Amino acid sequence: MRLSRRVLLTAAPGLCLALIATGCGGGGTGGGSASSADRSAEIEAALEEGGKLTVWTWSTKFDDAVAAFEEEYPGVDVEIVNAGQSADQYTALQNAISSGENIPDVAMIEYFALPELALSEQLVSIDEWGLGGLEDRFTPSSWRQMTYGDATYGLPNNTGPLIMLYNTRVFEEAGVEEPPATWEEYAAAAEKIKKEMPDSRIASIDPGDAGGLDSLIWQGGGRPFQHEGESVTVDFTGEDTQKVNDYWSDLVSRDLVAAEPGWTDEWWRSLGDGSLATWTTGAWALGNISSTLTDNAGDFRVAPAPVWDADDPQNAENGGSGFSVVEGSDDTALAMGFLKWFSLNEASVDAQLDAGSFPAQSAPLEDPEWLSKEFEYFGGQQANKVLAEASGQVSEGWQYLPYQVYANSVFGDSVGSAISGGGSVQGGAEKWGEQLRSYGEDQGFDVR
């Protein structure tokens, strides 16, 4: 810890505060090419020797897996710390690294944040530790999202292929017989629901959730963000992007969907009492809904998210995260050992699945026992089959910006404001894009 701080400070010129490691170190993104050195002996030795590890995650889904690890390696003491939620945690991570104090060994990193943290050299590349060969144990999409440039910065953990949860009671009452398979059917169902049940809407669109709109655009084929090295592209005027935005503008302006932030007390109540009929979200949400709306057991079912083209279903991901070893960890070898065991050991993965995590690992997705599990909450449905299929249809080529944490933080200013104010989603998105381009230029990127 001390060492890393000294390194940082010597790299920092003059008054440099080094809040962002590269901000002072002078940038540089070549994360070291994949010299798949086999350092497994070193890692094994560290695990045997034991020690103390700090793992940052704000999710409570990993407690049992960590306990399983500690049972396997009694010499290692793992402390789970909640250092804040998403963006808050990334800020805390940055502050910890810059001050050299309280740096965690391992941290949960959402896919959207990975490029930014990798670019600012906050994460350790696993290639240097010979873990690069584990690629085929994970879904291709999740693995890609852990890489930046030529290097991979951690192991994927969970993913969120887009699915749709729907309330069968509302569908029945409104006369919607089948869950809508395409967005066209979805709009028709939305009309029906509003007509039959004036106080209900098919869904709400969250003015604060950049990730939500991102995945809808992704699913529609839009690719507004691209980056390569120091050049980035932000473009919301692509045909597929516009198609998605205009679709939602239309639903909002016809008052067919509510414009309401998700996850609030209000929103849960709305979902529970049928004021909102569906929730299009990541596969991880099954656990959330079943443990929150306990009174609604049996009401909800899982369906694939509606698609644009029924003959060629394309899906996207919503959320999802991996775990990375943090630059400045006291014991990188031990941290790597933990990362590998935690991500792939069967006992660990099983514990995570039981806690409601949707795996990025390929093995469970093909496990017949897991696939045929019946969910009592969802009326006995074999929901994992739907999820696994959704996972298999995730389309390729999506990228986040190397400053997506910032991008998401200002989503509400432009797009969210348009959604809440009943304006055009496309207009808001273009404003958002403008801000992201000018920010990229300010930050020294080559913006195209």
Partner 1 sequence: MSNTATTPSATAGGPAPAPDAPGPPRARRPSRGPRKPRTNPVLQALMVLMVAYTLLPLYWLTVNATKSNGELFRSNGLWLGSEISLWDNIVATVTYQDGIYLTWLFNTALYSVVGAVGATVICAWGGYALAKFDFPTKRLVRAVVFGAITIPATALAVPTFLLFAELGITNTRLAIIVPALVSPFGLYLMTVFAADSVPDSLLDAAKIDGANAWTTFWRVSFRLMAPGFATVLLFNLVHTWNNYFLPLIMLNDPSLYPLTVGLNQLNNQVTTGANLEPVYNVVLTGSLLAIIPLIASFLFLQRFWQSGLAAGSVKQ
Partner 2 sequence: MGAVSAPAAPQRRPARDWTGLAFVAPFLLVFGIGVVAPLVYASGLSLYRDQLIGGRSFVGLENYVDVATDPRFLDGIGRVGLFLAVQVPIMIGLALLVALVLDSGRVRGMRFMRLSIFMPYAVPSVVAALMWGFIYGDQFGLVGQLNDATGLSLAGPLSQTWVLPAIGNVVTWEFVGYNMLILYAALRAVPEELYEAADIDGAGEVRKAFSVKLPALRPALWVATLFSIIGSFQLFNEPNVLQSLAPGSISTHFTPNMYAYQLAFNANQVTYSAAVAVVLGLITVVVAYAAQRMTARRETR
By the criterion CB under 8 A, which residues form the site for partner 1?
5, 17, 19, 58-61, 81-86, 88, 91-93, 95-96, 98-102, 261, 263-265, 268-269, 272, 285, 287-288, 291-295, 355-356
Asked if 275 contacts 199 with a C-beta cutoff of 8 angstroms, the reply is yes
**In whole angstroms, how close is the CB of 287 to partner 1 at the nearest point?**
5
Mapping DSSP to helix (H, G, I), strand (E, B) and coil, where does residue 343 land?
Answer: helix
Q: Which residues bind partner 2 (CB under 8 A)?
A: 13-17, 19-20, 22-27, 87, 91, 119-120, 206-209, 230, 259, 261, 264-266, 269-270, 275, 402-403, 405-406, 409-413, 416-421, 439, 442-445
**In whole angstroms, how close is the CB of 145 to partner 1 at the nearest point?**
19
User: Which long-range contacts does 343-347 make (Cβ < 8 Å, 24+ apart)?
Assistant: 343/134, 343/155, 343/156, 343/157, 344/134, 344/137, 344/155, 345/68, 345/69, 345/72, 347/65, 347/68, 347/72
Closest CB to partner 2 among 59 and 417? 417
**In whole angstroms, how close is the CB of 91 to partner 1 at the nearest point?**
8
Q: Angle formed by the axes of helices 239-253 and 210-219, to 10°? A: 120
Mapping DSSP to helix (H, G, I), strand (E, B) and coil, where does residue 75 land?
Answer: coil
Mapping DSSP to helix (H, G, I), strand (E, B) and coil, where does residue 227 land?
Answer: strand
Closest CB to partner 2 among 268 and 375? 268
Closest CB to partner 1 among 84 and 238? 84
**In whole angstroms, how close is the CB of 432 to partner 1 at the nearest point?**
20
List the single partner that 439 binds among partner 2, partner 1, none, CB under 5 to 8 Å by kind: partner 2
Question: How far apart (Å, rounded) are the C-alpha atoms in residues 133 and 145?
Answer: 16
**In whole angstroms, how close is the CB of 161 to partner 1 at the nearest point?**
17
Question: How far apart (Å, rounded) are the C-alpha atoms in residues 161 and 128?
Answer: 30
Residue 316 region by backbone torsions, left for phi larger than 0, else alpha for psi between -120 and 50, else beta:
beta
Closest CB to partner 1 among 46 and 93? 93
**In whole angstroms, how close is the CB of 95 to partner 1 at the nearest point?**
6
List the single partner that 96 binds among partner 2, partner 1, none, CB under 5 to 8 Å by kind: partner 1
Asked if 106 contacts 361 with a C-beta cutoff of 8 angstroms, the reply is no
